[in-house]
Amino acid sequence: MSSNIQSSESLLNAKPEEPKLVTNLRGIKNKIMVMSGKGGVGKSTVSANLAAALAERGYSVGLLDSDIHGPTIPKMFGVENEKPMVSEKGIVPVKVNDYLKIMSIGLLLDSNDSPVIWRGPAKMSAIKQFLEEVDWGVLDYLIIDLPPGTGDEPLSISQLIGNMTGAIVVTTPQEVALTSVRKSLNFAKIIKVPVIGMVENMSGIVCPHCNEKIYVFGSGGVAKAAEDFGVKVLGTLPIETEVAAAGDSGHVHIDIKSDSEWYIHFNKVVDAVEEFVK
């Protein structure tokens, strides 16, 4: 009889087991999602270069490519033909260097040309698995490259993680992009994720003949949106061919000249992220 009483007391006093997702992400200090209102604004370029730049500064960084239908991160780091291993602790992300590791659905496909034809539940299951079963280990930063928009993936990731450090919103200067980015800023407010700031990408191009800056997509709109929502513009990144070439060749943040206008302005974005988390 007494043993049954002791058994009942043990059950009452037992602490509930923590969800696997919580224990798996416990070693990550800062979780930052990079989002955009629409596609084609260079969000993945910002995500990849941010992760690479933080790793260059000596931080331990993970980069999660959560764009299920259009994964580009493996290509940008030149690891698209590598496959993740599996250990006792879970799926081992692909190592780019001693400070940076990545995970993407693109690393799990049979071919780089294979489309992912999945409905919402399958996508959500994959994203949960990336957070729950990938052995991220101890990280200073987990950068999450989100698909464009304010749909299933951003909502699910923010809800699953629950304690997101902040969000970076990427846009281009034209009015069409800004219409969408304002929705992203409101989305972050609704889900209670702090906005670290906005990045204005493709902010003009410098003429190679006369050095005059040409604002292909206009100017001023991003600063106005930032003012309306009370957020910072972290950097204005010009169009530079070597930035695109670095991503295409799998040499993110390696083949970009340190004295280029893009590099100088992008380092301001990295500085702002460091300052925010401090």
Q: Can you list the positions of beta strands (E) in 153-255?
A: 166-171, 195-200, 205-206, 213-214, 233-236
Residue 39, marked binder: yes
Residue 107, phi-psi category: left (phi > 0), alpha (psi -120 to 50), beta (remainder) = alpha
Residue 43, marked binder: yes
Residue 42, marked binder: yes
Residue 204, marked binder: no
Residue 213, marked binder: no
- Regarding beta strands 139-145 and 61-65, do their DSSP bridges make them parallel or antiparallel, or are they unpaired? parallel
CB atoms within 10 A of CB 248: 11
| Pair of tokens at residue 224 | 């106005």
Residue 151, marked binder: no
Q: Map residue 58 onto helix, strand or coil.
A: coil
Measured CA to CA, the distance from residue 220 to residue 64 in angstroms comes to 32
SS3 percent helix, strand, coil of the chain, rounded to 5, is 40, 20, 40
Binding-site sequence positions: 37-44
Binding-site sequence positions for ATP: 37-44
